[in-house]
Amino acid sequence: MKYTEGICQDGAAILKEGLPIKISEILSSLNEYDDLKYEKEQKILLLSKTELIEFLEMKKDKFSRPRSYHREWQILQDCIDNIKKMVLF
């Protein structure tokens, strides 16, 4: 779809495929775009959160064997727990 501008009587008009569209249609399209953009951003954040948890779990597994690494293991586990509790807005 291509949006352009034009003149309508004594003012400006927004055209969609060469035809004037109503302000309500413009607002509806803008709101729909914002909703889609927000959903996409949330999916990216969720994917990043999941990937971060997987990465930390992998690192944590390397510390799980020797007792001398218990502190490091616990720090990683605390990080994982905190990330899981995060709420995406």
> pLDDT for 31-83, tens place per residue?
898 888 888 888 777 778 888 888 888 888 877 666 777 788 888 889 889 88
How far apart, in whole angstroms, are the C-alpha atoms of residue 67 and residue 51?
27
User: Residue 76, class by beta-carbon neighbours within 10 Å (0-12 exposed, 13-18 middle, 19+ buried)?
Assistant: buried
Q: Do 83 and 52 meet the contact criterion of CB atoms below 8 Å apart?
A: yes
Give the range of the structural domain holding residue 21, as residue numbers without chain letter: 3-85
Look at residue 89 and tell me whether its pLDDT is greater than 60.
no
How far apart, in whole angstroms, are the C-alpha atoms of residue 7 and residue 52?
52
Q: Do 56 and 80 meet the contact criterion of CB atoms below 8 Å apart?
A: yes
Q: Which one, of 46, 44, 72, lies nearest residue 60 by Cα?
A: 72
* Domain total in the chain: 1
